[in-house]
Amino acid sequence: MGTWRVCTIADIGTVVGGATPSTKKAENYDRGTIAWITPKDLASFSGRFISCGERNITEIGLKSCSTQIMPEHTILFSSRAPIGYIAIASNEVCTNQGFKSVIPNENTDYMFLYYLLKYNKENIESLGSGTTFKEISGSTMRGIQVRVPESLDEQRAIASVLSAMDDKIEKNTKINDNLAA
């Protein structure tokens, strides 16, 4: 096992919040082609990779608010209502304000980052604040300390083992769903 370092989420990726275009303006959603994810989309989601949510937004909707298009392999992490839903973007997506997503930097394997955030979910959740419901702010998310292998190859090796187990779980779930249908 190689060298591990203590760092923050901000050291291994860019934390990005989302936003919601006005729902009162049909032009923000009608015939939209931009994938837009909300925590509700992840509520019953059991896979790792997500490509779209219940609704898409339009280019007008995108420009009307502070949401931004994030690249494939961004790790989507819900930051409120509830904290800790997690998925990997399988294509470009944007999110509502219920996320503090992490775009991994060039020295961070996206799959390792997914498992790192999943492993640290309870710790992250414990850092939430607020009176109506708990929420993780962008600055809190950026400052969370984690331990990460310095070697990208080691990150990939760890992620590969964990991913192989999840591949089997997902395959068994599909088999079970087919049997139940």
pLDDT in tens, 93-132: 999 999 999 999 999 999 999 999 999 999 999 999 988 8
What pLDDT does 133 receive? Answer: 85
**Sign of the CA dihedral running 149, 114, 19, 128:** negative
Q: Amino acid identity, residue 64?
A: S
130: its two tokens: 């607020």
Q: How far is CA 178 from CA 8, 74, 120, 132, 171, in A?
A: 42, 30, 33, 41, 11
User: What stretches of 133-151 show up as alpha helix (H) in DSSP?
Assistant: 138-143
What pLDDT does 71 receive? Answer: 98
What pLDDT does 123 receive? Answer: 95
| Interatomic CA distance for residues 12 and 105, integer angstroms | 6
| Interatomic CA distance for residues 84 and 145, integer angstroms | 16
What pLDDT does 124 receive? Answer: 95
What pLDDT does 8 receive? Answer: 98
What pLDDT does 181 receive? Answer: 75
What pLDDT does 167 receive? Answer: 86
Task: Check: CB of residue 101 under 8 Å from CB of residue 85.
Answer: no
Residues of the chain with pLDDT under 70: none
User: What stretches of 17-134 show up as alpha helix (H) in DSSP?
Assistant: 39-43, 59-63, 110-119, 121-126
109: its two tokens: 């394997």
- CA 71, chain centre distance (Å): 11
What pLDDT does 173 receive? Answer: 83
**Pairing outcome for strands 94-95 and 34-37:** parallel
56: its two tokens: 């898409």
With both helix axes pointing from N to C terminus, report the angle between 110-119 and 152-180 in degrees, rounded to the nearest 10.
Answer: 70
Claim: this prediction has a pTM higher than 0.85: yes
What pLDDT does 175 receive? Answer: 84
Architecture of domain 4-180: Alpha-Beta Complex (3.90)
